[in-house]
Amino acid sequence: MLTATNLKTLSQVKLHEIELSALDLVEFGIFVDGIHFYKNENENDDEDFMSMDKIARSFCKLVVDHYPIVVGHPTINAAGKGVIKVDPDNLCIPDFEEINIEHPAEAFFETRPNDVEGHSDVVFFNTRKFYESSGIQQLPKASYQRDNSAVIIRILRFKDSSYCAFTFSLSHVIFDGIGVMVFINNWAEYACNLESAESGTYKLANPPLADRQILTDSLKDAEPLDVPFIRHFKENAPPLPIELPPNIAPVLMSSPDIAVSEEQHLIHFSGKALNLMRDEIDPSQTTNTAIAALMTKNVLLANVNVYGTAPQISYVALAYDCRIHSGIPQQFSGNAACAAIAPLPSRQIIDGSYKDLAASIKEHGARIEGGHTKTIINVIENELSLMYQAGVSLCNSPLSSYIGISSVRYMPFYTVDFGYGAPKVLAFDYYTKDGMIRTLPNRQDAGVDLVFNFRDPHFEELCKLEDIKKYADVIY
């Protein structure tokens, strides 16, 4: 836990409110997480390896300097707006803890031969095996509803092992995926320069921008677009029998925590396999689009094998960083990601080629810019029930097939160095929603890991399919 000295540092934050945007409000009940394994290369000098004192002190100083939002409480202000209120006398205390695991880290690792000549085996963390035999039922998840903490940090120390795991869970309300990885990198930078950071002389080269008004100002001149998937759900999704009030903030801020799925799996594509897959699908497409095409078709086929019939529609949801194609600054630390959803006829996917499927997916995600983002915000603010309707439709059932793919593989994971070197193995904890795929870079063989929530019987059918066996290695 944080010490009295740590809390004294955090109490230096100033009293203020940060108004939440619509993109923040829809994330209540959802978290952003990660598991990073660091290896002590000097086994004779391990007393201070991944020091909790150093990690906690640098965290607190960074929060005071740049991220006071993480110690604020969500509330509705006098104007009826959803805000994070930062009050030095009423901090939302971050939850830090060290945990000793009575097993070596290697007990929870899986290995595969590396197809890069001269390199050692590729190592993966098996999250399911960890929970089955480590003595820990589940690491806690950040949630304002449940434990009133927006930040949960665990340092896992393993018996007779040179590995140590740094795990984090943060509320999605205050960060999107890009924002949280920039935060973790800035935190590591403070840890590496702790003395000058604590003296007030250290400066970040690109300090974060947390004011949500930046988002509004960046999009003020953008013209809303006619987004195809919004039109699709208006025309096809059944209306929900609920009436929502005009002020959406109280509704969204009372959203319950979304339960995590324990039916999590890991699929690995080596660098060589990725290149082969992309070349055979369509070399003109991005690797992400090729992965989306492969998984869309094969998840649909697995669902057909389970249900015995093809659903009429298949949904492919891709997450996009809206900072890239709009005026939103790269340093903006709030939520600035939106989804592009491709509603595709299942029969077209089954009968068509991967190349045509990749082209269709790309077409639905080609215009992700300020106008797209503004349309999504307008729907959240004025037609919130439509978002709920879409959420109900995005599932794997006899009526529909669904995958949602994150774009986190491009994020700066391997630069998170607290002064002990880069992480050796990356992983994710259990997450929400069946059909979600979170992608991680794997620099051990220049490949990609897909952390996939998919019900076990469906995943068993997926693993039998020839194209999955051709390109991918199923880890668990």
> Would 338 be classed as within a structural domain?
yes
Clarify whether residues 243 and 170 are in a common domain: no
Q: Are 400 and 393 in contact (CB under 8 A)?
A: yes
Clarify whether residues 195 and 288 are in a common domain: no
How confident is the model at residue 410, as a pLDDT? Answer: 79
How confident is the model at residue 331, as a pLDDT? Answer: 95
For residue 314, CA distances in Å to 54, 278, 414, 458 come to 48, 22, 34, 15
> Would 218 be classed as within a structural domain?
no
Clarify whether residues 179 and 272 are in a common domain: no
Q: Tell me which of 213, 235, 250 is where a domain ends.
A: 213
pTM, two decimals, is: 0.95
Range(s) of the domain holding residue 264: 223-474
3-state secondary structure 86-144: ECCCCCCCCEEEEEEECCCHHHHEEEECCCCCCCCCEEEECHHHHHHHCCCCCCCCCEC
> Would 437 be classed as within a structural domain?
yes
How confident is the model at residue 47, as a pLDDT? Answer: 73
Clarify whether residues 194 and 337 are in a common domain: no
Q: Tell me which of 164, 182, 213 is where a domain ends.
A: 213
Q: Tell me which of 150, 181, 213 is where a domain ends.
A: 213
Clarify whether residues 319 and 194 are in a common domain: no
CATH number at residue 79: 3.30.559.10
Bridge partners of 317, per DSSP, are 341, 404
How confident is the model at residue 285, as a pLDDT? Answer: 95
Clarify whether residues 280 and 186 are in a common domain: no
Clarify whether residues 193 and 267 are in a common domain: no
In angstroms, the first-to-last Cα distance of the chain is 33
How confident is the model at residue 475, as a pLDDT? Answer: 98
**CA–CA dist 289, 300 (Å, integer):** 16
pLDDT in tens, 448-473: 999 999 999 999 999 999 999 999 99
The residue ranges of the chain whose pLDDT is under 70 are 43-46, 146-147, 366-368, 408
> Would 99 be classed as within a structural domain?
yes
Clarify whether residues 202 and 250 are in a common domain: no
Clarify whether residues 89 and 166 are in a common domain: yes
Clarify whether residues 196 and 92 are in a common domain: yes
Clarify whether residues 378 and 259 are in a common domain: yes
Clarify whether residues 177 and 271 are in a common domain: no
Count of the separate structural domains present in the chain? 2
Q: Are 201 and 173 in contact (CB under 8 A)?
A: no
